[in-house]
Structure 1
Amino acid sequence: MNATATAQRPLLGVMLILLMAMCFSTLDTTAKYVGQTLPVLLVLWARYSVQALIMAAWLGVRALRGGGNLFATAHPRFQVLRGALLLLTSALLFFGIQYMPVAEFTAVGMLTPVLVTLLAATLLHERVSAFRALLVVGGFAGALIVVRPGSGLFGWVALFPLAMALVYATFQLLTRRLSGVEHPLTTHFYTGFVGTLIVSSILLLSSVDAGPLLAAAPASTWALLLLAGCAGTAGHLCLIVALGVAPMPVLMPFTYVQIAFASFTGWLAFGHVPDGWAFVGMAVVAACGGVSVWLNLRERAPARDVEAAAPVAD
């Protein structure tokens, strides 16, 4: 996939980001729920082990059918760094979300799109118009309305989502760099593989007795661990592909929709309902996303003839 193809399908990228938001909200809520009965480190291990197994099976079957060897990577150092960054992001999320409601934690973590957009303009030299930057800032303002600094949520636990936002912004930029030089399935396999290796090593050195805990867990807990792994696997695959078909500044405003999904899943699992101000903030986020869709369509129209003539790489 080359740079020309990257700019051709922004609407597909937006749809994938929305699906990613649904998957991540499911993952976060499931991690919080299961983390109340199992050590968080074990939940983290299950999440990455499931991804590693799914992707290994997928790539193995693909290779047997003549689809080529996607286990090989031309950029092993980048893959290891990317996997370690995502694991650190997940660790900060899985531990931190035990102390905050899902929706509020997600909203604080929405610093990530602001950081990514700014870093994309600075490091990747992507053009960010003043209007699009305003939409991103507007979405961030909506996130602030949801959590309202000084409301009591911003204690020491706020360090978890703040640190997560910084690490995840770096992770997304690295994903952007890899999206055009590695096959998405290769990148996705190494994300799970690296995460599994690191967490397994930590588990062996920790005091967590994983075997008896998993053996004593009911079937419902096993199902939730599987759900967490599948949701994380699907969500990050959507992210990888989205970053390969649309510019990052176009996609970032839509990540705020994850706040709404997180509010819904948090209500389903814990009965937590955000207050009136939180819904105002979500409305601001939705408005910014809607205007961004209109802007994408308007900018796409005059470029249609040029895009039709552009070569598309497999």
Structure 2
Amino acid sequence: MTALSPPLRRDSAKGVAFLVAGVAVFSVQDLILKLLSGDYPLHQAMVLRSLTAIPFLLALVHYEAGLKSLFTPGTGAMIRRGGIMFLAYTAYYIALPALPMATTVALYFSAPLFITLLSVLILKEHVGPRRWLALLAGFVGVVIMVRPTGAVFEWAALLPVLSGFAYALSMISARRLGVTESAAALAFWGNAVFLAAALVMSAILGTGAYGDQAHPSLAFLLRGWAMPTAFDALLMMSCGIIAAAGLTLLTQAYRIAEASVVTPFEYTGLLWSVIYGWAFWQQWPDATAWGGIAIIIGAGLYVLWREQTAKAQPG
């Protein structure tokens, strides 16, 4: 596939379907990693996940655009995007052991706000005063969720916000690369970066020399490798299939539909996080958390709605 390929056909309905499916698939991976986070390091799970994903991603690449689509003038940019995705998901994953799932997901939903902000800074899009106010309100919701004035400040609450920012940056990149690169190629190189980074981390941290950490996020990041049970190994490997499917579904969604159309459906992830948090850990957001969640989601949905109407009526 080259820059001379026909323009990418936009399909909002399929884009929404891809995104909802991708969010549902990835929510299962969140559940698995949170369940495993007390016994194994993240880099061990990522190595097994990424190795398992390779044949599935290669098959997807071959089916969608051929293996030659992995090596194009945009390959370097796809690898750089993979690095951004690695930062996004690593920050998100290591937040999971320290925070309730609903809190982690809600703070990650700062991503649509960041997407709008970055669209101004990078894509030079126009944002009117009402959308700026909505963005400000959304970040107020983030502050409420982080609770910086609490008796014990939980620094891990900043990790999903960092993840949301990095994810927004990667999706802005996907909008540009999607014109000439396939969704499967983008997903393959994202997985390749994950594997390379996880192998480096394992070489440095795998012995457990830095694993004596009391904080659950640091323990999940720095713990040494452990011999998994057969069931736990299968869970880690299943994340490879989940990642292959999820990465492709999400990337395809942003390739074939406008971000302002599909992004609101990212919020379906909150439903899964509340269900899983209650079912597995009896965690339920308190009144303050629900308030922050409502502000973040409300602001994000308003921003996205204004983006859809701005073409006809400046915001």
Whether TM exceeds 0.5 here: the answer is yes
Q: Percent identity?
A: 23
Deviation at 1:115, TM superposition (A): 0.8
> Using the alignment, how far apart are the partners of 2:6 and 2:305 within structure 1?
23
CA–CA separation in structure 2 for the residues paired with 1:218 and 1:290: 43
1:27 aligns with 2:29: yes
Shift of 1:20: 2.3
Pairing 1:269–2:271 present? no
Which structure 2 residues correspond to residues 135-150 of structure 1 after superposition, within 5 A?
150=149
Which letter maps to 2:23? A
Residue 49 (structure 2) pairs with residue 50 (structure 1):
no
Alpha-carbon distance in 2 for matches of 1:15, 1:282 = 24
Does the 8 Å contact 2:51/2:195 carry over to 1?
yes
Give matches, 1:10-21, under 5 Å: 10-21=12-23
Partners of 1:45 and 1:56 lie apart in 2 by: 17
Is the aligned partner of 1:218 residue 2:229? Answer: yes
Alignment-derived partner of residue 188 in structure 1: 187
Cα offset, 1:129, TM superposition: 6.9
Question: Which digits, 9 at most, give the CA deviation of each residue in 1:217-258, with x for residues without a partner?
Answer: 222212221232222222221221111111222333332332
Judge conservation of contact 2:46–2:194 (CA < 8 Å) in 1.
Answer: no
Equivalenced residues, count: 294
Gaps of at least 5 residues in structure 1 are 303-314
Residues 96-137 of structure 1: CA distance to partner in whole angstroms, max 9, x if unpaired? Answer: 222111111111122211011121233224466777777777
1:245 matched to 2:244? The reply is no
Q: TM-score, normalised by structure 1?
A: 0.76
Q: Is 1:230 the counterpart of 2:252 in the alignment?
A: no
**Higher share in helix:** 1
> Aligned partners of 2:13 and 2:171: how far apart in 1?
19
Detail structure 1 runs of 4+ shifted over 3 Å in the superposition: 1-6, 57-60, 66-71, 125-154, 276-299
Distance 2:66 2:107 in 1: 42
Alpha-carbon shift at residue 42 of structure 1 (Å): 0.9
Q: CA deviation at 1:34?
A: 0.8
Give the counterpart letter for 1:236 in structure 2. Answer: L
The more displaced of 128-137 and 183-192 is 128-137
Name the aligned partner's letter for residue 41 of structure 1: H
Query: Does the aligned pair in 2 maintain the 1:93–1:161 contact within 8 Å?
Result: yes
Structure 2 gaps, min length 5: 209-223
Distance 1:218 1:281, change over 3 A: same
Q: Write the distance in 1 (CA, Å) between the matches of 2:283 and 2:39.
A: 19
Could you say which residue in structure 2 is the equivalent of 1:200? 199
2:19, 2:266 within 8 Å by CA — same for their partners in 1? yes
Superposed CA RMSD in Å reads 3.6
Cα deviation digits, residues 67-112 of structure 1 (max 9, x gap):
5633323312112111111112222122222211111111112221
The residue identity in structure 2 corresponding to 1:15 is: A
Cα distance in structure 2, aligned partners of 1:231 and 1:297: 31
Q: Deviations over 1:182-220 (max 9, x none)?
A: 0111111111112212221231233437xx956x32222
The aligned residue for residue 117 of structure 2 is: 118
Query: Can you list the C-alpha shifts for 1:138-192, whole angstroms capped at 9, x where unaligned?
Result: 7767666666664568532223223222222222211221111101111111111
Structure 2 residue aligned with 1:306 = none
Partner in structure 2 of residue 101 of structure 1: 100
Whether the 8 Å contact between 1:120 and 1:173 is mirrored in structure 2 is yes
